[in-house]
Structure 1
């Protein structure tokens, strides 16, 4: 039952606005607790603890003079908490041997079909990027683990592959590459991960000069790839053309300047919810002039301003949890969960640099859901492994 709810939530996240489905998650989690008669293992709640601490910290140190800003910031953090908790509950109470990938594969295909239709209809205008990151994350897992013919597997992932072509998305390519390596267990081996990092960096260094020059306003994938490093590097805004071309870098730079203006206590704990990023002067953005922004594309600098160094540490710990929790005590039956957890973790860690990761308004919620699901499954595996070790120890003592 719960594995079907995982697929249902994936589809709901794709079809409904985040303001609606985030509100629906509250009664949904309450329903799960009701089914369990309030008897929920603390291990099923553990994956969301860092997100809960971030939420409470932001409220305690928040700008209560700006209740609207405080409420908006709090909603982003609360949504992240609810999504990961929903996934963790499903993962913890779904047996490891259950073929959850089957129903999730069909859900991922439906989500991508919706994105393809929107892209073909031109929904959202020329700048809209219709792509489902949750489907991209699951595609290599579907190709490797789905129990069906090769033709069926490629049929299921074909709409997702089409979205990459239509969206011309750099982040989409990155997600797919990370997920592919995750299915090979690269992130579970330090030696293999190191070799892959060296290989990827070397290949990127070779191909980078061959990419076409980036022109401001150009939408070619090659040009955007070449500009990627400059776009996320600091930009002080002294040159307006460069500032707009590398807007993400300008946001991050201004966020750092804003944080540097805090006192020592605020640098540790942040300005709280409602604290904005000062742009230093009025800048044309969107439909008018603005002098500050509530969020930066680089989510780490958003967290730095609102939650300080302590918040950044909590945020990184929250997303890097699989690399910390995976131990040798987890059996082979949890290997898929471990690969999915480390893959989604790395996707969230890297996507936070460019599109705010789990703090994005809705683009990464499907991945955050899968992340929570995998963490819940890992918690279940650790509990079962511990119980089995106690039983084995008791049996050996009895035999002795």
Structure 2
């Protein structure tokens, strides 16, 4: 905590009554707070912040930002206009409007913060500290209630949370910081060790397939990008994993065997959950709920008119389930959102919206390609992480609705905005570090 306060203090400067560097604190709050307050409050806060920037500071939008946002803006207007011809539920309509506007607001805010900070090192360190804070918060549940380790995975995730993308991102930034010549956490070995351990344990106790996939994506892309240096890091990583494996027998007595079985079962069953299949019984539907959602989404999409298939049913569109089923204690015959984000897009904004979403992902890849060609290890790292973010946006859309939800991917949108801002600062030669 002392080092965190020291970091914040060192990055606050006052000149002419205006706080210049405390924008990094705002970035930290933006990365962390969406997990603790209502998405509606975050939404209103973002609109207020952007209005202030527009009215009092007249920030400029560069072509890279506009090119990245344009597909998302078009998706929003397609969904909004299509809903006029549908019969949306009011609450679903409002929620969809917020969800589909949120990535646009977050990317723009991330961009503004980035061009205000103008310091790659400070941005990266702020992201790492945010991941450590979220990891400590996650682990405090187990400190306050050690018996939680004896519960089922479902109960652990219900009480302690689903884990954080920033935890994994921070973990690998700390681990590979030397390979990319980065000064992370003041290069203080004690703080870096603490951050690495905390993020590692938090990631393991998240029992999250998405975070496992995210970790593999990072490892794959970094291994391709800097083979020579990363191989050395892999050797030390192998030693670390070996030490963790030695500790597993001790951990095994704390975590029940059924937890291991549940996690392995989830991993094995992942393909079934995302495959489009008609199941024969309620038991099969419950065990493969995401697959059944996708199946019902496909039926609903194919039943639409040609125009509706092109432009979707609009915001507030619900997917008929073909049965009555209890979800989270309530009986549903239709759902407003399914886990497979691509089917969400097809049903709400049609083929046109889906294609625009793919164009958006490609634009992130193009940004990454531009950055990796520039000089400087830190800039190249931002480029590689653009590839990683693009890949994870695609994967998270397949598994868990992607960017259009209240929690879990807000940081991805913010990071995209930060990376666009870094690119703009490099082009205008305003970057500090």
**Same fold by TM-score greater than 0.5:** yes
Mean CA deviation greater in 20-29 or 3-12: 3-12
> Secondary structure, in 3 states, of the residue corresponding to 1:283?
strand
Q: Does 1:314 align with 2:337?
A: no
Q: Does 1:103 align with 2:126?
A: yes
Length-normalised TM-score, structure 1:
0.80
Alignment match, 1:116? 139
Q: How does 1:128-277 map to 2 (within 5 A)?
A: 128=158, 129-143=161-175, 144=177, 145=182, 146=184, 147-184=186-223, 186=225, 220-277=262-319
Alignment match, 2:76? 55
Q: How does 1:6-21 map to 2 (within 5 A)?
A: 6-21=27-42
Q: How does 1:289-328 map to 2 (within 5 A)?
A: 289-327=331-369
Alignment match, 1:212? none
Alignment match, 2:26? 5
Aligned counterpart for 1:371 among listed residues 394, 413, 416: 416
Structure 1 residue 218: deviation in Å? 8.4
- Contact 2:340–2:399 (CA under 8 A) maintained in structure 1: yes
Structure 2: runs of 5+ lacking an equivalent: 1-20, 149-153, 228-257
Mean CA deviation greater in 356-365 or 247-256: 356-365
CA distance in 2, matches of 1:353, 1:328: 26
> Secondary structure, in 3 states, of the residue corresponding to 1:292?
strand
- Contact 1:344–1:368 (CA under 8 A) maintained in structure 2: no
Length-normalised TM-score, structure 2:
0.75
Change (3 A) 1:327 1:223: closer
Q: Deviations over 1:283-337 (max 9, x none)?
A: 3323233211100011111111001111111112223322234456841233122
> Secondary structure, in 3 states, of the residue corresponding to 1:99?
helix
Alignment match, 2:389? 344
Aligned counterpart for 2:374 among listed residues 331, 356, 361: 331
CA distance in 2, matches of 1:164, 1:321: 29
Q: Does 1:282 align with 2:324?
A: yes
CA distance in 2, matches of 1:229, 1:150: 41
> Once superposed, what is the RMSD of the aligned Cα atoms?
3.0
Structure 1: runs of 5+ lacking an equivalent: 190-215, 388-400
Structure 1 residue 84: deviation in Å? 2.0
- Contact 1:44–1:89 (CA under 8 A) maintained in structure 2: no
- Contact 1:274–1:294 (CA under 8 A) maintained in structure 2: yes
CA distance in 1, matches of 2:93, 2:362: 27
